[in-house]
Amino acid sequence: MTTGQHTTKDVHQEKVFEAHIVGCLTSDLGYLERDPATDYDVGYALDRELLFRFLRNTQPEAWQTLEDHYSTQAEAEVLKRLEKALKEQPTHQVLRQGIKLVPNINFSLCYFKPASNLNPDLTRLFEGNILSVMRQVRYSKKNANAIDIVTFVNGIPVTTMEVKNPLTGQTFKHAEAQYRKDRSPGGEPLLTFKRGAIVHFAVDPDNVSMTTRLMNGKTRFLPFNRGRDGGAGNPDVPGENRVSYLYKDLPGAKAVFSREVLLDLIGRFIHLERSGGKEVLIFPRFQQLDAVRRVLADARANGAGQNYLIQHSAGSGKSNTIAWTAHQIINLHDEADRPLFDTAIIVTDRLVLDRQLQNTISGFAQTEGVVKKIDGTSRDLKQAIEQGKRIIITTIQKFGTEHLATISGQSSKNFAVIIDEAHSSQSGKAAQAMSDALTREKTSSEDIEDMILAHQAARGPQKNISFMAFTATPRNVTLERFGRMGEDGNPHPFHLYSMRQAIEEGFILDVLQNYMTYSAYYKLEKAIEEDPAFKGRNAQRTVARYASLHPSAIGQKVEIIVEHFRRHVRSELGGQAKAMVVTQSREHAFRYWQQIKAYIEEKGYSDLKALVAFSGDLRIDDTDWSEAAANGFPETELPQRFDTDEYQVLVVAEKYQTGFDQPKLVAMYVDRKLAGLQAVQTLARLNRTFPDKKRTFVLDFQNTMEEIRDAFAPFFEATELEERTDLNQIYDLESRISSSPYIIRDEVERFANVFFTGNLSSQERIRLEGLVKETVGRFEMDDDEAQQEEFRQLLRSYMRFYSFVAQIVSLGDPWLEQLFTYVSWLSRLLPSREVPADIQISEDMLQLSAFRVQKGEEGSASLQAGDTTKLAAITEFGANRYTEEEERSLSEIIDSFNERHGTNFSREDFLRFERVNREIMDDEMTDMMRNNPADVVYGAFERAFFQGMVRMFQQDNEMRSAVMTDKVARDQATRHFFNRAMRMANESRT
């Protein structure tokens, strides 16, 4: 606090809080309070006396050698070497590494907590660290400024703190302003980046923020709060200030300034990141520090075999949290000083491994060779596991190869598996292959049932594997797979940093604050009205695609996009603002990019330039294109090129729609259907903060504000389930498959006898295929296409649900495992449904006679506290539950139908239409409904649904007669199941 800045009363009130903090540090945490007037050396920014006291007490032999060699200059030589070290290396590094003097005198400047208490000498040295604190430190030779509180470790400053009290009208925001305006680091050793104190805190009784670099007016503070009721701030603490977690141990948590936590921060958390010529000193935010320490404490207490779901908001520094967890979990020891985990394996389901994550984890390594990045083949992964590499970074897909299938003998080792973006892939084949590789043992049992049960047991929870799953948006599968059971009997995240808290703290932006929707209206005319090619479902899909790709349709949207960007976005961030255009396919992305370029050129907008991103090669108008050919440089350079002032707009389809970090993105123009998880992940590209970035813009041509709010609601605060999944559904699925006319149990068991006892030679594979083809033959003889498709769906549901259930519990049922293995082969050998070939549409066959884009809703779509919804439990991995609105709609249809026809049809009768939906909702129809407006795709669905109804009721004269002759009922039913199908199509992305 600068002398004379406040009235005597104000100073007194702030000093009360200041004195309370220091009092707790000294009385509760063992700090020494020192006098800045006599103990602080302004030139060196040190407490020299404590520095020398620490060295003499902990390293008497080295000190004696120093005095023997340097005599009266001993202290001066230490100061000279320390000053040089601090100028060349950051303070935390100097504390870790110590200093060396001739002749071979090594001084440690800090001792860190040993892995166990077995070595009393190491524990004694750790306790020998001297933690101290000073109040009102006059740190400058140029002015009379004083820092409220400075803490030291062995005489070396590590933190500064400006303290404010709201009773004086001053908050932590005023402390931030004080650092920016009155704490210039120029020529001040205490405040100089890397040279002086490691971190600077702005504190009032309710809130804390921090920074690691003072840059005058450009200083950026980050929140350092625990969170309050799912939002920003800190919870009440009985009899204390809300920020007491800084200076006082609380139940279940050590204080941040405690010896244990502060030295842990210095020794294992703080990291200097160098990238692109810039340096950033990374100090964990509270939720990062808390998550890592809680995971480690739980693992130390409970050993391997535990699950941890860490739900941290997008943009919250997940890569750093993963890196800290990985590096510290491998150094975790039990009380007998044995490592708890042999290897940490970091997996992602991105096929192209996240380079940022790789670089972050490698950059945190303090020892050469600890981290092994698997950029090559699965053979490299196998070798790394067998060699016992400490940290391995890989894609999960590499586990599903033959190389990994040969690994055995790992069950005696403990693995910490850290999952980046934990979603559905973690309950699939690759996840199972990973578990197999880390637990597989050769068995000597010849009993077939023992062999099958061993395979099944390998799918379940493993005592040698702990899973640490990180995601901002956990699905129902993720919660059940990795969550911890709460008192309500449902799974919950182990640690939470919610989207709501991140937004309220200002750490990320609310991307729904400025939302605008547009609706597109098409009018199509056919030149050949009776052409049968236009009557098929495949043709209708093609027609919808034709309309959305028409130059007139794209042209009108391009005009809206470019003009909106120029009018509202271009001037943001001092002219550095950028935008992303999200389209529904690679061809759409390319066409948009072409028309944006043409429009910019036509209008002479020389200050705008666009890029396009798409994977692979694309043939457009008889010309082959690649992303590199379109942009004029290699695709690996796109993120860096887009970051320059040369480019403002990036057009994407799937690529860069998720996992792309560009803080200058201010606007997003959406022309594709988004739902659930994909909507959140896509729009989250906008949420990163940047200097002067206060708002974002979204223009949406495909989704309503209500749909987007519904997508965000489950992930805004803590994600929860309505109820736990009924795992007994696996027996319902098994019963339906076993009782189908295609399956014979004896064939399944004969298949299992070969599969589980053989080495699957080519001869045995032929024998297995022969057994499965018995079922295929019966399937092919069936002329009921609807029943065939229902069976296909049933097999898919069983395989997905069994993979999930078997990971949650140890089933102990060999028949379920036999059936799973059998249907896994069967589903591959069953003939696929015939899909009609695409028709080629030209202008002379079909014309877009009218198209207009009309502005819809505009305003805030933001969520508020409590605006959350719970996720539904898993139901058969394929059957979509009815919503309340759908139930009401169905009841109205049934009542109206029965009233007009004098019938007594029930809900179950009408639910037979679900079979029609399952039949027609193949990948093509799903894709068409997901990526096009409802009015464009309704015609295609209506035709397909009608044909399905005809087939469905061939043997039910009463229902067929009523439905076929009652157009009102038919239209009602069609519209009802169309709405339900649209929901299914959109939810299939989540």
590-609 pLDDT, tens digit each: 999 999 999 999 999 999 99
Contact assessment for residue 747 and residue 775, using Cβ atoms and an 8 Å cutoff:
yes
Which pLDDT tens digit goes with each residue over 950-970? 776 665 666 666 666 777 777
- List the single range of 275-284, 640-649, 833-842 with lowest mean pLDDT: 833-842
Tell me, yes or no, whether 825 lies in a domain.
Answer: yes
pLDDT at position 221 is 95
Query: Among 446, 471, 497, which residue terminates a domain?
Result: 497
Q: Are residues 679 and 620 in the same domain?
A: yes
Neighbours of 741 (CB within 10 A): 12
Query: Among 786, 808, 829, which residue terminates a domain?
Result: 829
Tell me, yes or no, whether 763 lies in a domain.
Answer: yes
Per the structure block, which two tokens stand in for 364? 């945190």
pLDDT at position 653 is 87
Tell me, yes or no, whether 367 lies in a domain.
Answer: yes
pLDDT at position 6 is 41
Q: Is-above-0.85 flag for pTM?
A: no
Q: Are residues 541 and 405 in the same domain?
A: no
- List the single range of 16-20, 437-441, 744-748, 765-769 with lowest mean pLDDT: 437-441
Q: Are residues 662 and 759 in the same domain?
A: no
pLDDT at position 353 is 43
pLDDT at position 962 is 64
Q: Are residues 951 and 911 in the same domain?
A: yes
Q: Are residues 53 and 88 in the same domain?
A: yes
62 confidence band (pLDDT: 50, 70, 90): very high
Tell me, yes or no, whether 587 lies in a domain.
Answer: yes
Q: Are residues 150 and 250 in the same domain?
A: yes
Neighbours of 73 (CB within 10 A): 12
Q: Are residues 626 and 695 in the same domain?
A: yes
Tell me, yes or no, whether 502 lies in a domain.
Answer: no
Count of domains for the chain: 5
pLDDT at position 73 is 95
Tell me, yes or no, whether 129 lies in a domain.
Answer: yes
Burial, 502: exposed, middle or buried (Cβ in 10 Å; 0-12, 13-18, 19+)?
buried
740 or 911: whose pLDDT is higher? 740
Residue 176, domain extent: 8-232+240-269
pLDDT at position 318 is 87
pLDDT at 890 over 70: no
905 confidence band (pLDDT: 50, 70, 90): low
Burial, 303: exposed, middle or buried (Cβ in 10 Å; 0-12, 13-18, 19+)?
middle
Directed axis angle between helix 923-930 and helix 967-987, to 10°? 90
- List the single range of 265-279, 459-473, 679-693, 832-846 with lowest mean pLDDT: 832-846
**The domain spanning residue 419 has which CATH number?**
3.40.50.300
Q: Are residues 456 and 325 in the same domain?
A: yes
Q: Among candidates 785, 768, 797, 984, which has minimal Cα distance to 882?
A: 984
Long-range contacts of 774-779 (CB under 8 A, 24+ apart): 774/744, 774/747, 775/742, 775/743, 775/744, 775/747, 775/826, 776/826, 776/829, 776/830, 776/831, 778/741, 778/742, 779/742, 779/830, 779/831
Q: Are residues 916 and 974 in the same domain?
A: yes
Q: Are residues 218 and 330 in the same domain?
A: no
267 or 655: whose pLDDT is higher? 267
- List the single range of 15-24, 259-268, 331-340, 911-920 with lowest mean pLDDT: 911-920
pLDDT at 77 over 60: yes
The DSSP 8-state label assigned to residue 92 in this structure reads: H
Which pLDDT tens digit goes with each residue over 556-592? 999 999 999 999 999 999 999 999 999 988 899 999 9
pLDDT at 134 over 90: yes
Q: Are residues 178 and 294 in the same domain?
A: no
Long-range contacts of 528-535 (CB under 8 A, 24+ apart): 528/845, 531/845, 533/839, 534/839, 534/846, 535/943
Residue 349 Rama label (left phi>0; alpha psi -120 to 50; beta): alpha
Per the structure block, which two tokens stand in for 175? 């402390």
Most distant CA atoms of the chain, gap in Å = 112
pLDDT at 539 over 90: no
Segment (H or E) for 797: helix 785-808
pLDDT at position 150 is 98
874 confidence band (pLDDT: 50, 70, 90): confident
304 or 456: whose pLDDT is higher? 304
pLDDT at 61 over 90: yes
Q: Across residues 397-424, what is the average pLDDT?
A: 79
Per the structure block, which two tokens stand in for 737? 């498959």
Q: Are residues 524 and 493 in the same domain?
A: no
H helix intervals, 440-550: 448-459, 476-482, 499-504, 537-549
Tell me, yes or no, whether 277 lies in a domain.
Answer: no
pLDDT at 429 over 90: no
How many percent of the chain have pLDDT more than 70?
Answer: 83
d(CA 593, CA 581): 9
pLDDT at position 664 is 97
Tell me, yes or no, whether 946 lies in a domain.
Answer: yes
pLDDT at 3 over 80: no
